[in-house]
Structure formats: structure tokens, C-alpha cells
Amino acid sequence: MVGPVNKWLHHLPLALALLALPARAPAHQLNEYLQATLVAIEPGEIRFRINLTPCVAVAEQILGLIDQNRDGIISTNESAAYAELIKHDLTIRLDGRIVELNLASSFFPGPEELRTGCGIIQIDYAAAPGTLAAGRHSLTLENRHLLPASVYLFNAAQPKSASIHITAQKRNENQSTGEITFSMHPPRNSSVALGIFGSLLALFVICFASVRLARKK
């Protein structure tokens, strides 16, 4: 029982986040490929966790894209190649500027589990946004991976940093495209610490100048 419980707990953060999605999110049907994206925005990094669940009717189509040599095993190279394929079907923009994604991690169930319609492929991408200026920012994601056969979900995770505040989320009708508006504000403690450091530095400069002046006399 330990394995199933750990697996359920592993997907719990995504499940809780997806509960916040609008009621108009499409139902998961037997002939669809569900692609659920959770976006975690932090000051130094943005993470994109995509959970992909092929239902029974499309499982063989998805396996055909992943298991290229048809040996019934998803190798490390095959999983990396599929993650790269998905990456090319994603467009991420931060304040209108295209952001490059890097594969952070991935998990692929075995082919038999995927054929049941319950197997979940999990792929994590990371992006380094650089130094975020204080104020309002906009992040957009467009997912074009297997559009005809897919349904999509899109949501922002609750930021861990007190510097980031999610202010709004927008999605197109099928949620293949989404926009997250957020604000970046340095924590108050950082401003206070910076002010104290500046005051001490100024005091040091004044004392140093006074000592030099006294020596010259």
C-alpha cells in the first residue's frame, strides 16, 4: 500500500491547484489527451509542471510518439525526446519576451499503465527570468501539443515567496493558452536591511574621513 499512497501524495499539490480552475474546464473523456499545466512563479525561477494523461482511445497514439522503436519499453532517450517534442510545442512569454525552457525532470509510467487511461506522464520545465523589476508582470503560455486530440487545464500555483503576488489569470476557451498577471515587490525586511546597511556604510565613510582629516592636522 505504500507505493499507491506515495503516488497519490506526489500528485496532491497539482490536484489541489486544479480544484481552483473555473467550472467551465472541460470534462475528461475517453477519447482525449488531458494536459494539465501548473505554473509556479518565484523571483529567480519559473516552473512549469505538465501532467499528461492519455485516455484509453488515444493511449496507443501517444505511445507511438514516445516508444519510437516499438520495443514496449520507454527508455531514457525516448522520454527525453518526447519532453523535447512537447517543449517545441510550447511558447512562453514574459512581458512579451519569449522565454527559453529547460527540462528539469520527467516521469513516465510504463506502457501498460498508460494503456489503462490512468497513467500520468509528468514533465517539469524551468525558466530563468532574470532579475524581475518591481511592479506588474505578465506571463503567457501557449500549448499547441496535439491540439485536435487534447483538452487542457491551466493554473498558477500559490507562490512560496512573499515577493510574488498573483493578481489575475486569463484562459482561452479550451485553456490551451493562458495568461498570469503578477506583481513583484521586494519584502519589507529586505528594504529595512538595505536601509540599515546603507546607514552603517555612510557612518563608516564619515568616520574614515574624520580620522584621515585628523591625521593630516
DSSP string, 11-79: THHHHHHHTTS-TTSPP--TT-EEEEEEEEE-SS-EEEEEEEEE-HHHHHHHHHHH-TT-SS---HHHH
Is the pLDDT at 144 greater than 50? The verdict is yes
Among the listed residues 152, 150, 149, the one whose alpha carbon sits nearest the alpha carbon of residue 171: 152
pLDDT, average across residues 122-143: 96
Element (H, E) at 204: helix 188-216
* All residues at 6 or more sequence positions from 29 whose CB lies less than 8 Å from its CB, including other chains: 55, 151
Residue 5: per-residue pLDDT: 42
Query: For all residues of the chain together, what is the average pLDDT?
Result: 83
C-alpha–C-alpha distance, residues 184 and 163, integer Å: 6
pLDDT, average across residues 186-205: 53
Element (H, E) at 180: strand 177-184
Percent of the chain surpassing pLDDT 70: 72
The type of residue at 204 is: F
Query: Per DSSP, which regions of 120-160 are E strands?
Result: 121-127, 135-143, 150-156
Residue 31: per-residue pLDDT: 87
pLDDT, average across residues 175-189: 89
Least confident of 67-71, 114-118, 163-167, 201-205: 201-205
pLDDT, average across residues 90-103: 97
pLDDT tens per residue across span 23-57: 444 445 678 999 999 999 999 999 999 999 999 99
Q: Is 75 exposed, middle or buried (0-12, 13-18, 19+ CB in 10 A)?
A: middle
Residue 186: per-residue pLDDT: 81
Phi, psi torsion values for 8, nearest 5 degrees: -65, -45
C-alpha–C-alpha distance, residues 6 and 77, integer Å: 26
pLDDT tens per residue across span 55-81: 999 999 999 999 999 999 999 999 999
Element (H, E) at 205: helix 188-216
Length of the chain counted residue by residue: 217
Percent of the chain surpassing pLDDT 90: 69
